[in-house]
Structure 1
């Protein structure tokens, strides 16, 4: 009997942690329990301790207890006016008033009878209160057997007794710990004692087990979609397979079907998603609109791994028009990658098939079919020198350019190429607590076979190219530290100067096409890279020193309170400057001869955090990029962030934006959030999002409104202003009876994630 009460009683509602319990109690201004139940000290397992004013032994197998009867076991305490125990039949009968207590609940009833042999218990006229979370109710009869608990003509609510906003009344509530689900028959939802909704039958989870059925619907309204409703249906196919089918109705657009299939086997884990819209009423010129997504990771054996990540859409504006959980509406390209990896004792080999879909009015990109790369994970050593060999074999194809060449002979492009790159390297590394030194000497050998129209914009490409370039890199740093009282008493300051020399000789590479090469980020950490571009289609000439330093301040608890990193590249010859190198198609992205970069962080108070970064061309006297973020994070989910970002050249456009986030609890029940972002370059707002949440101990309500700029990837972003830009405005509602929906349904912290710009707190170690 005792074991059943401890494990089964109201487990369907017992999902809150102690922290949540305290938070709920604070909102409700009441404690969920007056005291924590504890077993009687010293009581042995599988035994009972019975106290009573009077005991009458009936024969040799039965006993009648009366007058303040108290029955204790290791898992419960039962008080009653009288109790009869029949040892032969294994029966317990108690008369009230009765109080039952364990570590999960407190129950009062008029009578109790139990079959100890069959492990079944019945309580009559029972009123219960959960002690680990908010939840209470009553039942004319409460029955427990070995596998389940049943409430007949019962009720449940999370509201306090003096303010019962809502409650559920049902002819029967069945909770099965073994199945992990609860069933409710003939349920009526009442709000302020007024019947609001009759539900003949519904089920809900009481633990982490899954079951097929409809999930909570989602309702909203906006200028773009009109009235929008989502009604997900969850299909529990098998323990390792499930699917979610979601009809999405948009009054201005039409009916869209969203599906997701998830699978988990011994070797594979992944999901396949398909979104389909037969006809878009707002875009009558478009055909069927769809999204396909396949993501999988595999462990084929101890040495082989696999990965698939494919996303395909019907048209460039699918994400900006319809949104999706499988890609961001601000994405400008989609990746389609298949990867097979072999992990050897000394070598790692990656076999990749990759394709990029560039969204918008841009040139199509090359696909890699395949790209085989290998790198040496364990070096060969001789006289403290490490020898490694890395390389790759890639075959690139661009069918769109091939079709264009066939249609228009004036279009000159390379549509197919094979590239073999091998890079042996000798490395010497010395590391000590105070300083370290690294020297690397590489030989880069690359061979190309190119097909297509080999004349483009005045450049002559060669069908066969053999390129050999050496590279020398010398890098060293020194570590200093001292005691400091700046920002904090008994603090520690470190200073790490860094110096790098990089040399790559000049080589005319204009006879090579561009297949997977782009310019890398020019931040402080990028100053100490050994290359300027990703890929190997262009290896920039270098004869340069990079000088930089980083200083940090730590508290006596090893918390980082401040850091500052600054550095600059100095070229030893004019020919090595980026502006003097004619990197076709990449030179248009801008070249900066005297690049200065810095990063800084200041955490002078546990609630305040300042982060910034800058890249500046000291020769051209212009800012390239900058960002600054000021954060305040207080107690009880208080946060404010103000940020500014600037970029001199993003696809030919200057970007300058300023934004703010705020999340402020007004009191214990009300919570306000807002975010606003404005484009200072085009003098227009980009997004406004605001929301208000009310949360009591038994129900929660959210309302959010947004005004977001609509993006058309087939048009240029330049030239738009506040008057010509098109905006989408909308409002969302969410109402939850707590105890019938998950915490995610009313989490104020997640409201800021609904916008185009999600709130992100800058990273630091003592976050």
Structure 2
């Protein structure tokens, strides 16, 4: 019994001259539709656009024993012999399941189930296009063998040639004497030549043996075996290596990341590195996605850091760093998050940290928190700790651990009236064996803030008023004064504003301008607080938004005395056609009726009746340009107290990007400029740069200079970076990376530029490679 049936039809179609597989589906860039031209760079020359295949019918289901499926054949001429051989000629077309094939001639043996094709053979199936002069197919399992063939893998954008190709099933293929590349037709910037290649479309992977990497047909490297992805799914395998150097004790290094796709919800990246002068260093990053959220774990370890041991006699050379982050949504208003970082020693971040998210800060934060939120109820419970990694910070200035911190906020409203109750409990602790006086204090703090208010909002403006009592109780240890005491400070405030607007035209554009005057008054009496330790309190930064803050302190250990009125004015311009804010300017000032006496470490007091003016300016005249300026101006001294300005301009495709910033603070003698850019030197080459300059000390605080070359089949990044370290020196770091597109991976050179230059990553975000579905030709261009 035959495992397949045959359907024959004769048609009058013209035979076509055979072309290479890549040339058949290649469409020049000028001929692509506009929506694809936006995603495909012009320098790529075009894209592969496979036609839609004729849908398989129900008759294509396997019949009889095995996997045999019916074979459908059409041709211009057909002759049946007595030996059960069928000769076909003239535009022969074959269809079996998902397999499609064409040729000039064919011979089918009904007894053996073998089909021989010759003359301009073209075959399609499951995103693979094959061409050759001769082919042999079997109706058992859909196998197909081509000699002296060419192939195209659409999902991998990979083309090549082979001495022999054997398709062993609908999703498996063996290629002998293969040469393959992801470069466009007519360009072989790089290619892989292999004695044998196995492609498994089910797993999305290919493996190659005896591989030679060739650049412009010149062999440059040999590897006995490689594994590479053939679609866009996540796959286990090596990412691109990174080579670089640093003069801050890291030396020359070579990193070869290995990505492991362990499960759809779980993966890991292991990065072994060799660092000259230190030894072998390993970093591991894992990501786990549950139904509640994602957890990331990053770990770095070196068993014996020879340079660290020589610089620190008697200290263990085993060094490590750990960073764990997690964010979970349990449902019903419950959430949880974790942020925990730790290192073996103070110098780990500057010496060894490369891919971990641990930054070169003075303190590493350790937070674990659970939260609940519903209308009128907000609850959180947290454990918060720190590891200080800057030995220059004295013990008395190191942050307290909060073990635990519990907060409950309740609110309700009825008409224009509302009531609220904020309650916060903390237990503060830190090592205090070497501390004295208030610096040695540890203990408990309970803070409650009941509030009642009334508010009215409408089109002409708004008015709100409230009274609040800030009550705090302490129970302390390790101090010489009373262990238990409390402090209560009442507050009363009024906030009111008006809203005026007008409409106007500029050419064909329609705009709305507003004028928004605002008054804010707050009163709270002075309470003696010099005998209260400072656990978590700081002075609020002075800016336009802080003009309307109830208190000048953040935290519960100081409550300010206030008798002040804020006057402010804001004007906005809305583009009514685009629906965005084009401009905003705000200016305000605090008028004090009494001296402010409550101090925090000697700061926070003033006898001035007027504060500096605080203002902000935001301009967005174009979609690709914006300017933001904030600052404070002392009218009495006629000088700027502090200011910050940021300007950004970019083209719509972000190939040209310019950022400029300036920061000034008279209190800390800080004045810095920050300029960064991405400048396209051509269609494929970009210059990357950043310069951070300390204007106060007239010296460079950091630089970055890079060159990036992008083609459609390989990318090159060269980056040189200098940045200030904790000891006020400048570290110099060089990074080099080359990517062969289609073989997977990413790396440090591009990540460094992305972190340093705002907007850098938008270039790839707005121009993602089109998906196979987007590239497929319309249904009317179906391939029968």
With the shorter chain as reference, the TM-score category is: 0.7 to 0.9
For 2:486 and 2:629, how far apart are their aligned partners in 1?
44
Residue 647 in structure 1 maps to residue 703 in structure 2: no
Give the match's secondary structure for 2:339. Answer: strand
Within the candidate set 6, 27, 32, 2:43 is matched to 27
Cα offset for 1:431? 2.5
Contact 1:212 1:236 survives alignment (8 Å): yes
What residue in structure 2 maps to residue 541 of structure 1?
561
What residue in structure 2 maps to residue 151 of structure 1?
175
Residue 170 in structure 1 maps to residue 191 in structure 2: no
The answer to which of 311-320 and 545-554 deviates more is 311-320
For 2:205 and 2:156, how far apart are their aligned partners in 1?
19
For 1:657 and 1:761, how far apart are their aligned partners in 2?
25
Contact 1:52 1:65 survives alignment (8 Å): yes
**Could you report, residue by residue, the CA deviation over 1:17-48 in whole angstroms, capped at 9, with x for unpaired residues?**
998887666224x3334x763557x9977679
Instruction: Name the CA shift for 1:215/1:325 in 2 (closer, same or farther; >3 Å).
Output: closer
Alignment of 1:607-622 (within 5 A): 607-619=624-636, 621-622=638-639
What residue in structure 2 maps to residue 717 of structure 1?
none
For 2:356 and 2:155, how far apart are their aligned partners in 1?
37
For 1:23 and 1:368, how far apart are their aligned partners in 2?
51
For 1:589 and 1:175, how far apart are their aligned partners in 2?
75
What residue in structure 2 maps to residue 457 of structure 1?
none
Residue 727 in structure 1 maps to residue 733 in structure 2: no
**Could you report, residue by residue, the CA deviation over 1:485-530 in whole angstroms, capped at 9, with x for unpaired residues?**
4698322212222222212222222221111111222221121122
What residue in structure 1 maps to residue 270 of structure 2?
245
What residue in structure 2 maps to residue 284 of structure 1?
311
Unpaired runs of 5+ in structure 1? 2-8, 455-460, 713-724
What residue in structure 1 maps to residue 526 of structure 2?
506
Contact 2:403 2:429 survives alignment (8 Å): yes
Within the candidate set 418, 439, 459, 1:386 is matched to 418
What residue in structure 2 maps to residue 419 of structure 1?
445
What residue in structure 2 maps to residue 372 of structure 1?
406
Instruction: Name the CA shift for 1:163/1:244 in 2 (closer, same or farther; >3 Å).
Output: closer
What residue in structure 2 maps to residue 37 of structure 1?
51
What residue in structure 1 maps to residue 288 of structure 2?
263
The answer to which of 128-137 and 178-187 deviates more is 128-137
Alignment of 1:290-689 (within 5 A): 290-299=320-329, 302=332, 304-327=334-357, 329-343=359-373, 346-360=376-390, 361-362=392-393, 363-376=397-410, 379-382=411-414, 384-399=416-431, 402-405=432-435, 413-454=439-480, 462-485=482-505, 489-555=509-575, 556-571=577-592, 573-575=593-595, 577=596, 580-587=597-604, 593-619=610-636, 621-636=638-653, 637-649=655-667, 653-689=668-704
Give the match's secondary structure for 2:666. Answer: strand
Instruction: Name the CA shift for 1:485/1:761 in 2 (closer, same or farther; >3 Å).
Output: farther
Instruction: Name the CA shift for 1:118/1:351 in 2 (closer, same or farther; >3 Å).
Output: same
Instruction: Name the CA shift for 1:291/1:375 in 2 (closer, same or farther; >3 Å).
Output: same
Cα offset for 1:331? 2.4
For 2:197 and 2:366, how far apart are their aligned partners in 1?
49
Unpaired runs of 5+ in structure 2? 5-20, 27-31, 61-70, 767-784
Instruction: Name the CA shift for 1:75/1:146 in 2 (closer, same or farther; >3 Å).
Output: closer
Instruction: Name the CA shift for 1:446/1:22 in 2 (closer, same or farther; >3 Å).
Output: closer
For 1:210 and 1:21, how far apart are their aligned partners in 2?
26
For 1:243 and 1:36, how far apart are their aligned partners in 2?
35
What residue in structure 1 maps to residue 251 of structure 2?
226
Contact 2:99 2:142 survives alignment (8 Å): no
Cα offset for 1:542? 1.4
Instruction: Name the CA shift for 1:488/1:60 in 2 (closer, same or farther; >3 Å).
Output: farther
Give the match's secondary structure for 1:226. Answer: coil
Cα offset for 1:663? 0.8
For 1:255 and 1:752, how far apart are their aligned partners in 2?
26
What residue in structure 2 maps to residue 458 of structure 1?
none
What residue in structure 1 maps to residue 17 of structure 2?
none
For 2:135 and 2:344, how far apart are their aligned partners in 1?
65
For 1:126 and 1:671, how far apart are their aligned partners in 2?
38
The answer to which of 106-115 and 634-643 deviates more is 106-115
Cα offset for 1:398? 2.0
What residue in structure 2 maps to residue 6 of structure 1?
none
What residue in structure 1 maps to residue 778 of structure 2?
none
Give the match's secondary structure for 1:80. Answer: strand
Kindly indicate whether structure 1 or structure 2 has the higher relative contact order, using CA contacts under 8 Å at least 6 residues apart.
2
RMSD across aligned positions (CA): 3.7
Give the match's secondary structure for 1:178. Answer: coil
